[in-house]
Amino acid sequence: MTIRKAIRVERPPEIVFRVFTEEIGKWWPLKEGFSFGGEKAKDIFIEGRVGGRFFERFTDGTEFEVGRITVFQPPHVVVFTWKAPEWEGQTEVEVKFTADGAGTRIELEHRGWEAGPIMQKQGQGYSDGWGIILDKFGARAEAA
């Protein structure tokens, strides 16, 4: 199974890419349950380089590394690994930013759910979740 989502934002790719990567902590819906820290959710970061971390920092100062950046090509694409603690393996998230007139088309693909039964079961929930997350992102990017 591969999750695919796409949205379009009326801003140029350079701005949209920056909002997605550098400003992720300002729009990611941590407090709405999209956090590995639950009640301890505080902030989320993408370190903008290959090998950089995609991670959360909790209210107690501890951190959880969701994954690592494997491709970082501003303003076109960012790819990172994603692994929940209980999963049998890691998945990969690819986000492409393509100029579309005066705006940008954002295409997200989250793949690698075949590694085990826990991951296969959780995949559908992630599909719904990415829809919510991209809506939050789109609203923030439009305002940038």
Domains in the chain, CATH or no CATH each:
2-31+70-143 (3.30.530.20)
Band (pLDDT 50/70/90 cuts) for residue 63 is very high
**Bond from prior residue into 75 cis (ω within 30 degrees of 0):** yes
List the structure tokens of 142: 């439009």
Q: Which residues contact 62 (CB under 8 A, 6 or more apart)?
A: 40
Q: How large is the average pLDDT for residues 45-53?
A: 98
Give residue 33's identity as a one-letter amino acid code. G
**pLDDT surpasses 90 at 71:** yes
Which DSSP helix (H) or strand (E) runs through 89?
none
Q: Count CA atoms within 13 Å of residue 46 on its CB side.
A: 27
Reported as a single tens digit per residue, the pLDDT across 113-143 is 999 999 999 998 899 999 999 999 999 999 9
Q: What is the mean pLDDT of the chain?
A: 96
List the structure tokens of 52: 């950089």
In this prediction, residue 131 carries a pLDDT of 95
Reported as a single tens digit per residue, the pLDDT across 1-18 is 899 999 999 999 999 999
Q: How far apart are alpha carbons 56 and 46 in whole angstroms?
A: 9
Reported as a single tens digit per residue, the pLDDT across 84-112 is 999 999 999 999 999 999 999 999 999 99
